[in-house]
Copies of this chain bind each other. A is one copy, B any other.
C-alpha cells in the first residue's frame, strides 16, 4: 500500500511536472496553456495531452504575480437576499462573460466597517477593477479606492460625489417622480413606509425627493412607519395595519421597496380594502415578483440589470486598455410602472 493515492497528491502539480511529462520546456508549456506566441501543432498536442493526463490546473497565484495581471473584478454589495443585487450580478455577468474577467463578490451587510474590511481584503488580491454599491463609504474606503489605481465604478445611485466612475439612477428624482404621479391622481393623505433610514442611503434619498416634490404642491407625508430586519413581506403587512390603524383616512401608501409593498397590498386585499379606489399604493424596484400578485403594485424600475451591464462594461473597457478615460457618469432613467394600484378609478 502506498501513502500517496493518485487521487489526492500531497504536492500540487506545477508547470515543471507537465514539462517533464511532455519533454517540452516549461516556457513552451506555459505558452501552449495560455495560447500565446507561436507553437507548432506537434508540441502543442504533446503538451495538452500531458497536462490532461496529469490533471494539471495552472497556479494563477504564481501567474498573477509574474505578470501582475489579475482577471478578477471585485463586486461589493450590501446583501444577497435582497432580490435587487442578484439582478445587478446578472447584468455584470452578462458582460464579463464575454471577456476573460471574472466577478468576485463581497457582502457588507450594509455595515460601513464591514465594507472597509471586505474592500481591503479584495484590493489585496489586486483585482482589475472594483464595482461597489452606493456612493457613501468611510474615508478609509474612499482612500483605498483612490489609491488602488484601478477602475472603480460606484453603482445604483448617482446623487453624490463619486470616487471615479458611477452608474445608477437618481433616487431623489425617483422619489420626486413618484410623488408627482401620486399627486396627479388626486391622492392627498399620503403615508410612507420604509426601512430605518441610516442603513439605507438610497431609500433615504427617495424619501427626501418624495417629500420635497410633495411640498411643492402643498402636501406632506402625514404618517410614517419604519422597520428593520425580519421578513419584508410580513413587515409590510404589520406596518400597513399599524399605519392605517393610526390614521384610517390615509388614501395612499408609498413603500420604500416592493417587498413591503407586496405585504401591504396582500393585507389590504384580504381586509377587503378597495385598492386603489379607497387607497392607492406604490413600491420601488420593479422586481419581477410583483407580476404574480393579485394586483400589480405600482413601482419604479431601478434598472438593475442595465446598471450591472454598464458598470461591467466600463471596467472591461478600462481593463483592456481600450479606454483610458476615467470618471464616467451614466445616469439611467427609472421607469414608472403604473400597475394596478396607482391609477384611480374615474368616479
Contact = CB atoms under 8 A, between A and B. Distances in A.
A237 interface: yes
A38 interface: no
A147 B9 contact: yes
B143 A55 contact: yes
Nearest to A124: B60
A86 interface: yes
B125 A60 contact: yes
Nearest to A100: B121
A266 interface: yes
A268 to B, nearest CB: 11
Contacts of A236: 292
Interface in A284-304: 288-289, 291-294
Nearest to A125: B60
Interface string A100-127: 0010110100000000000011011110
A341 to B, nearest CB: 16
Interface centre among A57, A83, A86 (most CB of B within 10 A): A57
A57 B234 contact: no
A12 interface: yes
Interface string A67-104: 00010000000001101001101100100000000101
A65 interface: yes
Contact of A126 (B61, B146, B148): B61
Q: Within the oligomer, what is the number of copies of this chain?
A: 2
A104 B104 contact: yes
A42 interface: no
A134 interface: no
Interface string A2-29: 0000011110100000000000000000
Interface string A217-240: 000000000000001111011000
A171 B187 CA distance: 51
Contacts of A147: 7-9, 55, 57
A50 to B, nearest CB: 15
Given A234-B292, A292-B263, A12 B60 contact: no
A19 to B, nearest CB: 18
Contacts of A146: 7-8
A311 to B, nearest CB: 17
13 contacts: A9-B149, A12-B149, A57-B120, A57-B144, A59-B124, A61-B61, A80-B80, A80-B86, A81-B87, A231-B291, A232-B292, A237-B292, A266-B292
Interface of A: 7-10, 12, 55, 57-62, 64-65, 70, 80-81, 83, 86-87, 89-90, 93, 102, 104-105, 107, 120-121, 123-126, 143-144, 146-149, 231-234, 236-237, 262-263, 266, 270, 288-289, 291-294
In the A-B complex, the 7 residue pairs with the smallest Cβ-Cβ separation, listed nearest first, are A233-B292, A80-B86, A81-B86, A60-B124, A55-B147, A234-B292, A7-B146
